Amino acid sequence: MTDTDDRLPRLGLVRNPFPPATTGTGFLTDLSLPDRWEAELRRHIRELADSEGDRALVIEGGYGTGKTFILNWIQAKVLPEYRVKPYFFENPGVAFYDLANRLMRQVGRYEVAKALWELLYPSDAEAQQRLISLEFRQWLATLGNRKSRDRAVQTLTESLRAQDLATDEEILHKLARLIVETGERPYFEYRDFVPRSSQSLVAEQEEPLYFQALVKILGRIANADGIAFLLDEFEDITLPRRLNKSQASAYTGTLRRLLNMAQREDLWIILSITPEGLARTKELDPSLVDRFGHPYSIPALTREEAYGIVIQRLEPARTGGEKGLYPFAEDALDGLQETSFSSPRRLIKIMWHSVGLAVERGESTPLTARLVKEAEERLYAEAPKP
């Protein structure tokens, strides 16, 4: 046991630098992309920021090509530069209320109500006089009886209107009550927001209006220039066998509503999708795909970029000040098939396995191309040759 325990340090590593799960970002704290990807994506996003039309960007790529990684990078590195606040949705459902529910859960009712209250009250002179020293929680505690609650709802409704956060009477009223009733139920449900959503078609068609008001509010209370929804793995649900007819129409309906909203509000829609998912979406609704504009198709990694990705993971995991591919030999990836180094997922998996083999066998440095090749063969022996 102790024997194998000191074998990673003997390779100059504090841990296996490659994540075995081979999804997401793994251990990386400083996300960066190959230069070519970065330049192209930044260009796309710049266009998005300058665009007057639909603010939608589609990241297209097969399994393991780096879609989730790119969305994380956009969230961490790019959106802050535009003062855009991101909301990340992993594997969102097809129906519009799925998305809304997820959003509600992410933001939290108490936080929204508190921030909204802070935004609204100072604009009301009379309330300010009365409430200047009150914190939100204390203010909630003053709403002991029906009369005081009604008065608060009234004041908030006016303030919401004055701030142009909604125009529809019912929505204004609902939002005001949402704040006032926070003390009773601090948790958000989309039902709180949309009345009778499952009962009548009419209410369902009103959903986007409520959602739009919420998007507006989120933008305002985040003190951001816009907000972005990053939708990861929309691809899953577009698999033909998973999507029945009504789900298919819910899916395209959700996308269309999002796009419509993106056009009216400062909302960016950034989604990842597989080529199959995109093709399927196009079959379902060609005009929708047209509105996406040009998708960003993730390119295959070149050999040089593959080296870059491996080095990026090795660097923070090394104990010494070694450079390059250490503890691997400088030509360690040279023997790999093109299908292995062109896909981030496969490459990372092979490297993870190579480190495992080296530890198991007590190999000494530098770790050779032969070892890496062996890891490839063990993992992908049955895989058809390109």
Ligand X SMILES: Nc1ncnc2c1ncn2[C@@H]1O[C@H](COP(=O)(O)OP(=O)(O)O)[C@@H](O)[C@H]1O
**Residue ranges in contact with ligand X by CB under 6 A:** 19, 22-26, 33, 61, 63-69, 309, 312, 344-345, 348
**What is the nearest approach in angstroms of Mg ion to the Cβ of residue 23?**
6
10 Å Cβ neighbour count for 202?
8
Q: Which residues here bind Mg ion, judged by CB under 5 A?
A: 67-68
| Kind plus residue range of the DSSP H or E element containing 227 | strand 226-232
**What is the nearest approach in angstroms of Mg ion to the Cβ of residue 300?**
17
Judged by beta carbon distances under 5 to 8 A according to partner kind, the member of Mg ion, ligand X, none in contact with residue 195 is: none
Q: Which one, of 335, 371, 342, lies nearest residue 355 by Cα?
A: 371
Task: Please state the separation of Cα 209 from the chain's center in Å.
Answer: 23
**What is the nearest approach in angstroms of ligand X to the Cβ of residue 299?**
11
Residue 64 or residue 293: which is nearer to ligand X going by CB?
Answer: 64
How many whole angstroms separate alpha carbon 342 and alpha carbon 305?
9
The residue type of 12 is: G
How many whole angstroms separate alpha carbon 95 and alpha carbon 83?
29
Judged by beta carbon distances under 5 to 8 A according to partner kind, the member of Mg ion, ligand X, none in contact with residue 163 is: none
**What is the nearest approach in angstroms of Mg ion to the Cβ of residue 232?**
6
Q: What is the DSSP code string of 264-332? A: HTTEEEEEEE-HHHHHHHHHH-HHHHHHH-S-EEPPPPPHHHHHHHHHHHHGGGBSS---TTTTB-TTT
Residue 65 or residue 157: which is nearer to ligand X going by CB?
Answer: 65
What token pair was written down for 378?
A: 């063990």
| Kind plus residue range of the DSSP H or E element containing 130 | helix 125-131
Residue 72 or residue 340: which is nearer to Mg ion going by CB?
Answer: 72
Cα–Cα distances in Å, from 215 out to 58, 87, 218, 251, 356?
20, 11, 5, 20, 47
Residue 67 or residue 102: which is nearer to Mg ion going by CB?
Answer: 67
Judged by beta carbon distances under 5 to 8 A according to partner kind, the member of ligand X, Mg ion, none in contact with residue 75 is: none
Residue 120 or residue 347: which is nearer to ligand X going by CB?
Answer: 347
What token pair was written down for 84?
A: 């855009």
Contact 163, 220 (CB under 8 A): yes
Judged by beta carbon distances under 5 to 8 A according to partner kind, the member of Mg ion, ligand X, none in contact with residue 61 is: ligand X
What token pair was written down for 328?
A: 């691997």
**What is the nearest approach in angstroms of ligand X to the Cβ of residue 25?**
5
Burial of residue 308 (number of CB atoms within 10 Å: 0-12, 13-18, 19+):
middle
**What is the nearest approach in angstroms of ligand X to the Cβ of residue 54?**
23
Residue nearest to ligand X (CB): 66
Residue 12 or residue 275: which is nearer to ligand X going by CB?
Answer: 275
Judged by beta carbon distances under 5 to 8 A according to partner kind, the member of Mg ion, ligand X, none in contact with residue 26 is: ligand X
* Phi, psi (deg, nearest 5) at residue 268: -105, 140
Judged by beta carbon distances under 5 to 8 A according to partner kind, the member of Mg ion, ligand X, none in contact with residue 324 is: none
**What is the nearest approach in angstroms of ligand X to the Cβ of residue 204?**
32
Residue 26 or residue 335: which is nearer to ligand X going by CB?
Answer: 26
Q: In terms of residues, how long is the chain?
A: 386
Residue 90 or residue 168: which is nearer to ligand X going by CB?
Answer: 90
Judged by beta carbon distances under 5 to 8 A according to partner kind, the member of ligand X, Mg ion, none in contact with residue 94 is: none
Judged by beta carbon distances under 5 to 8 A according to partner kind, the member of ligand X, Mg ion, none in contact with residue 183 is: none
**What is the nearest approach in angstroms of ligand X to the Cβ of residue 305?**
8
